[in-house]
Structure 1
Amino acid sequence: MDEVQDAPGGPGTPPTWSSSDKDMVTTALGPSRVWATLGHGIVNEVYWPSTGRPQIRDLGFIVAGPNGWTEVKRTERYLLSLPRPYVPLPSVVHEGDDFRLELEFLPHPLRDVLLIRFALSGEGMKLHALVAPHLNGMPTNSGFAGADLMASEGEAALCLYADTGFSRTSAGYVGTSDGWQDFARNGRMTWQYPAARNGNIALMGELAASNGILALGFSQTPEGARTLARSALADDYNETRTLFVSGWENWGRTLKLPYASPETRHAAELSAMVIKVHEDRTYAGAVVASLSVPWGRAMTMPAAIIWCGPATRWRLRSRSSLRASMRMPAARSIISSERRRRKAIGHRTITRTDAATGPASSSMKWPCRCCWPPSCGPWGISPTRRPKWPWCAQRSTSSCVMAR
C-alpha cells in the first residue's frame, strides 16, 4: 500500500456467533476469570470475566504455503486429546496435505489470559492467526494492528500477542476487508490495515516463527489487556502448565466412583469435569446451562440478550451428577445457590409450567432426590430400604416444594 489508511468496507457484514457444536470447554482452577470453548479444532467463544459474557466469536488459523492456503477449521481433519479425562488441557493436531499443526490450549491459572502453544511443520509453510472480537457481546468493535492485535469496546479490551512476534498484521471488516477476504482474493496476506473502527471487525497476524506461544489477554482497558498478555508470556510456560494440571489433578483425586468399570469411570470423570468448568467464579454454586450461544451461526443480536442462564433443571441435575460422584461440597453449593435465587424472587417451588427455570413433569423426581438427606447415599436412595419419595414426586403434581 502506498499510503497507510484504515480498512475500507465498514461496518462489515452482520455479526454472528460460532456453532454450539463444541469439542471441549476449559478453564483454570484459580483466580483467573477466563473460560474457553473449542469447536472444529480451534478456539470458539471465550468468556470473561464471567460465564455469561462471550468476548470473541473465534480464534482460528490459516496455513499458507507454495501450493496454496487452508483455513484449518474447514478441513475437519484433526484429533483432540486430554492428558486425563478430568484435566481440561486440550491438545489438537490438524493434518493437511502438506502440513501438520499442533496446538495446546492453556488458560492461565493466575491471569485473565488464554495461552495457545503452536507448532507448524511443512516445507515453506506460514501460520496466520485470525481473531474475531465481539467484546461485551456487542456487534461493533474497534480493532488495531501493530506489534500486537488489539480490540476494544466500552469497558472491555483484548490483546493477542506472540512470544515470537508477528511479521505483519492487519485489521479489517468482516466480509469486505478482513484477512480471510485477503486470502480469498489474493491467495496470500497482502493487506496491512492499521485499524478498523466501529464495526464487525476481524484481526489477522502472520506469525514470524513456526513454533511459539500466543497469549490472548482480557482487561477493561487496552493497556491492561496488553500488560496481561505480555506478562503471561514472560511466565515460564511449563511452570504455568504444571500449575494448571496440578489444580485439576488435586480436584480429580476427590472424585469417588466405586464399583465402576474403566469405561464408566472415564465417562464419569469427563462429565464431572465438564460440569466443574461451567461453574462461575463470582457466585458460588452458580452453574451456567452451557458455554455456548444458542443458534450462534444465525444470531445477530447482542449476546447480552441471549445469555444461557442457570436453568433450574440443569442446576439440579448438575448437583445430582456431582453428588453421584461424591463431590458433596460442590453439590451442596449448587443447591444452596438455587435456594437463595428462588427466595430472592419470592418463588420457593418448582413448577412444570415454568418453562424457563423449572423442570417438566417427567423431571419432577430430580429435585426431590437432590434434596434427600446425604445419609441416604449418593443417589438419594438408602442402601437398606427404598425411600418413600415425597408425595408430590409420587403423584407428579404441578409443584414440588424444595427442601426446607
Structure 2
Amino acid sequence: MLGMCVVATVAGSAVPSIAEPGKAPGAPGVDPGYLDADKQGFGTARSAESPVWFTLGRGGAADLYYPNLSTPVSRQLQVVVTDGRDFVQRLSDVPTRTEPIDAKNPSYRQISTGDGWQATATYVTDPARSAVTVDLRVTSQRGELRTYAIHEPTLGKDGSDDSSRTEGSTLVASDRSAAGALRSAPAFTETSSGYLGTSDGWTDLSRHKQLTALYDKAGPGHVGQVGRLPVDGVGASRAVLTLGFGAREHDAIATAEATEKAGFDAVAAAYRDGWHRYADTLQQPEHLTDEHQKNVYWSSAMMLAASEDKQSPGAFVASPSMPWAFRNDPEMAPESGPYHLVWPRDLYQHATALLAAGDRGAAERALDYLWSIQEPDGHLPQNTQTTGEPFWTSVQLDQTAFPIVLSWQLGRADEQQVRKAADFLVGFTHDGHAAPYTEQERWENHSGYSPGTIASAIAGLVCAADLVERSGDAETAQRYRAVADEWAAKVDGWTATGNGPHSPQPYYLRLTKDGKPNEGTTYNPGDNYPEEVDQRTQVDPSFLELVRLGVKRPDDPVVVNSLKVIDEVLGEQTPAGQHWHRFTNDGYGEREDGADWNIGHGRTYGRLWPLFAGERGEYELLAGQPDQAAERLRSMAATAGEGLLLPEQVWDNRPGGEPGTPNRSATPLAWTHAQYVRLAVSLEAGAPVETPSVVADRYTR
C-alpha cells in the first residue's frame, strides 16, 4: 500500500490520487438487500464437514450460506473487468451462460463475454472445509486488462454490523457471529475495504474505472471488499479465489489458506466424487431416454439432497433464495426471508421424492426432524429456522397431517407423536369452526374448508389409525377412522359448488369460508387483489390431493368436472407446455410493469407454477393415462433454466417475460424438484409411488 497521496501521468491521462491508508469514510453504508431469486446454480459439498452453500446469479456467486441454510452470509462474490480508462464491467453486467459440470454434480462454470474479453469461472465448495473456491480464467482481445474480485459480506444475515480489514493479502470480514476470509492465488496486488454505496471498491470502480482509494478497514456497517487480481487476460489469465468461513477471523483465515493450499483441481475432484458416489445409490428411471429430462432428474435429486442443513440433519429448506420483497424489504422480511426456512409441507415433498429416488435415509432424517419440532399440543409449526426455532406460527392442518402419512410410508410406529398429531387434527377449532376447517390452507393466506387440506387430514387419520391399531389400540383406531370417514363423506358438501359461474355441474372451490359452497360468501383472495370476490368464483388445483392421497377415484364426476374448470380458468399453453396458475386472481408475482411483488404497493400478478404439471401427471397415472403423464414431465423439464434448476413460477402469456421461462420467483424451488423426481419415478412404476395404499384401499378400491 502507498503511505501518501501520489499523482502520476500514464499514457497522457492523470491517475487519480491514492488515499492514505486508514479507515474508509461513508459509514454505515447502504443496505442493498440481496440479489434476485432466479438462481442459475446451487451447490454444496456432499460432506457434513463443509457447512457452506453457494448460489449463482446471472454472473457470479450470489447468496452464500454458512453455517446453516437459514443464514445467508454473503450477498455476492464476483469479478470486475476494466481497461482502467474506457469501460468497467462486472460479470453480471454482460451476457453470461451457465453450464453444469455434469447433472450428477452440483458444480457449474459460468462463461461471461464482455467488450473484447471473456471470463470463465467454475464454482465448488471444499468437502473438507467451510470454503467456496472459484477457478477464474480471463482472456482479452483488446490488450492488457485489470481484474478485481468484489465481495459483499452479510454475516449474521443482515450485514449491518460487519467489519472488514486487510491482513497481509487476505480480505477479512467479521461480526459477532461469524467471519469470512477472501484470498487469491496468486495473491491480490491491491486490497480495500469500504462502505457500500460510498467508499466500497465497486462504487470506486464504477465511477473511475480503476481504484482511486485504498482503505485498510471499514465497519461496523454494510461493507464491501475489493482485491485486484494479478490477471490481465494476456500474460496472466488464471487466478483461484477462495472464500473461507469460521466462527472467528483466525478460523476463517486458516480455512481459506488450507483450501487454497489443497488446490482447486484436487478440491473440485473430491467435490465431484462425493456427489457421484451419492448418485450411484439412487434409482435411474429407465424410461427417461430423453437426455434433457434425464439431466433434470439428476439435477433435481442433487438439488433436494443439497437442501439439507448440515448442522440439523433432516432440516431441508424450501429454497436457497429470497424473491421479490423478501430480498430487500426489512419490514416484510426482517430476517432475510422465509424461503430458506423449513416448512413441514415442503419437507414432506422433499422426503417422499428422495424416498422414491432411493434415499430412505434422507426421508428418515426428515421425519425425525418433523417430530422434533412438534408442539406440545400435537401440531407442527408453520415453519422453522433450520435450528428448529418456529418462525411463523399459523396453523395449517396439512402440515400436521403429512408427518403422520410419512410415518406410515416409512413403516415407523412413532406412536406418541402420531397420536398427538392425530388428536390435534380431530380436536382443532378456529374462528368457531371445527376441523377440518383450517387456519390456513396450503397457499397460506386464508382460513376455511379446503379440499386439499381436508384430503391430507383424512389421509393422516387413516394412516394414524393403522399405526395405532398395530400397537393394539383398536378403540382409538376406530375413532380416527370414524372421523376420517365423516370428513370424506362431507368434503363435497363443504367445498364443491353446484351453482357457481364456471360450470352448471359441481366443481371444487379453492376453499369456502363457511362450509357452504353454494353461498356467495365473499372474501379478499390476498396478495394485493383490490376487491372482495365471491367464493364460488375461486378455484385452484388443490382438489387433486383427494385423488393422489386415495380419498377420491380419478373418475369421480366432481373431480373430472373440476379439471375442466381449472383448465379453462387457470391453465395456459406456453412453449414449455401447459401450466397452471395457483388460484383465481392470484397476486403472488410481479407487478404489471415488472416490478417486484410486495404487500400494499399496487396490484400484482401470480404467474404459472410448474409443480402443478407434476400433480396433474400423478393424477393421469391414476386415471390410466400414462402418455399424458409423460407429457407433464416433459413440460416440467422444459421450464428448467441453464443450470437445470426448476422454478417456483414461469412467465405466463401476459407481458413481462418469455412465456414458459422462469420469472423472478424462487429458483430453485425444492417442491418443484420434488414433484419432478416423484413423477419420474411414478412413471417408471406405473402409478404414483406416494399414494398411501391404506387410504386408497379404504375409499377407492
TM-score (norm 2): 0.52
How many Å apart are 1:391 and its aligned residue? 9.8
Matches within 5 A, 1:223-262: 223-256=250-283, 257-262=285-290
Cα deviation digits, residues 272-294 of structure 1 (max 9, x gap): 11111101112221101111234
Matches within 5 A, 1:357-372: 361-362=451-452, 368=459
In structure 2, the partner of 1:32 is 50
Q: Distance in 2 between matches of 1:39 and 1:225?
A: 24
How many Å apart are 1:190 and its aligned residue? 1.5
Matches within 5 A, 1:43-192: 43-65=61-83, 67-75=86-94, 77-122=95-140, 123-138=143-158, 139-146=160-167, 147-192=169-214
- Report the 3-state secondary structure (helix = DSSP H, G, I; strand = E; otherwise coil) of the residue aligned with 2:72: coil
Q: 1:204 to 1:345 in 2, by over 3 A?
A: farther
Cα deviation digits, residues 208-249 of structure 1 (max 9, x gap): 233121110101111111111011111132222111111100
Q: Distance in 2 between matches of 1:254 and 1:110?
A: 22
How many Å apart are 1:253 and its aligned residue? 1.4
In structure 1, the partner of 2:361 is 329
Q: Distance in 1 between matches of 2:334 and 2:209?
A: 33
Please list every run of 5 or more consecutive structure 2 residues that lacks an aligned counterpart in the other structure.
6-19, 232-236, 381-399, 402-435, 445-449, 467-549, 551-677
Pick the structure with greater CA Rg. 2
Q: Distance in 2 between matches of 1:224 and 1:337?
A: 30
Q: Distance in 2 between matches of 1:73 and 1:386?
A: 47
User: Partner amino acid for 2:130?
Assistant: D
In structure 1, the partner of 2:218 is 196
User: Partner amino acid for 1:168?
Assistant: E
Tell whether the 8 Å contact from 1:32 to 1:111 is kept in structure 2 after alignment. yes
Q: 1:251 to 1:136 in 2, by over 3 A?
A: same
Whichever structure has more helix as a proportion of its residues is 2
In structure 1, the partner of 2:409 is none
In structure 1, the partner of 2:337 is 306
Please list every run of 5 or more consecutive structure 1 residues that lacks an aligned counterpart in the other structure.
395-404
In structure 2, the partner of 1:293 is 322
Q: Distance in 2 between matches of 1:126 and 1:258?
A: 50
- Report the 3-state secondary structure (helix = DSSP H, G, I; strand = E; otherwise coil) of the residue aligned with 2:364: helix
Tell whether the 8 Å contact from 2:62 to 2:74 is kept in structure 1 after alignment. yes
Greater shift after overlay, 100-109 or 326-335? 326-335
Cα deviation digits, residues 8-67 of structure 1 (max 9, x gap): 111112341122111111000111110111111211111111111111111111101154
Matches within 5 A, 1:251-400: 251-256=278-283, 257-262=285-290, 263-294=292-323, 295-300=325-330, 304=335, 306-307=337-338, 308-342=340-374, 346-347=378-379, 349-350=400-401, 353=438, 355=440, 361-362=451-452, 368=459, 387=693, 389=695
How many Å apart are 1:82 and its aligned residue? 1.6
In structure 2, the partner of 1:10 is 27
Q: Distance in 2 between matches of 1:358 and 1:392?
A: 28
User: Partner amino acid for 2:155?
Assistant: L
Tell whether the 8 Å contact from 2:288 to 2:294 is kept in structure 1 after alignment. yes
- Report the 3-state secondary structure (helix = DSSP H, G, I; strand = E; otherwise coil) of the residue aligned with 1:41: coil
Q: Distance in 2 between matches of 1:341 and 1:119?
A: 46
Cα deviation digits, residues 146-191 of structure 1 (max 9, x gap): 5111111003110001110111111111111111221232221121
- Report the 3-state secondary structure (helix = DSSP H, G, I; strand = E; otherwise coil) of the residue aligned with 2:213: coil
Q: 1:191 to 1:344 in 2, by over 3 A?
A: farther
User: Partner amino acid for 1:309?
Assistant: L
User: Partner amino acid for 1:137?
Assistant: K
Q: 1:358 to 1:201 in 2, by over 3 A?
A: same
How many Å apart are 1:264 and its aligned residue? 2.9
Tell whether the 8 Å contact from 1:43 to 1:58 is kept in structure 2 after alignment. yes
Q: 1:387 to 1:58 in 2, by over 3 A?
A: same
User: Partner amino acid for 2:295?
Assistant: H
User: Partner amino acid for 2:352?
Assistant: S
In structure 1, the partner of 2:230 is 208
Q: 1:220 to 1:85 in 2, by over 3 A?
A: same
- Report the 3-state secondary structure (helix = DSSP H, G, I; strand = E; otherwise coil) of the residue aligned with 2:302: helix
- State how many pairs are aligned: 389
- Report the 3-state secondary structure (helix = DSSP H, G, I; strand = E; otherwise coil) of the residue aligned with 2:322: coil
Cα deviation digits, residues 333-364 of structure 1 (max 9, x gap): 22332233226663263377354989864366
Q: What RMSD, in angstroms, separates the aligned Cα atoms of the two structures? A: 3.1
How many Å apart are 1:318 and its aligned residue? 1.1
- Report the 3-state secondary structure (helix = DSSP H, G, I; strand = E; otherwise coil) of the residue aligned with 1:334: helix
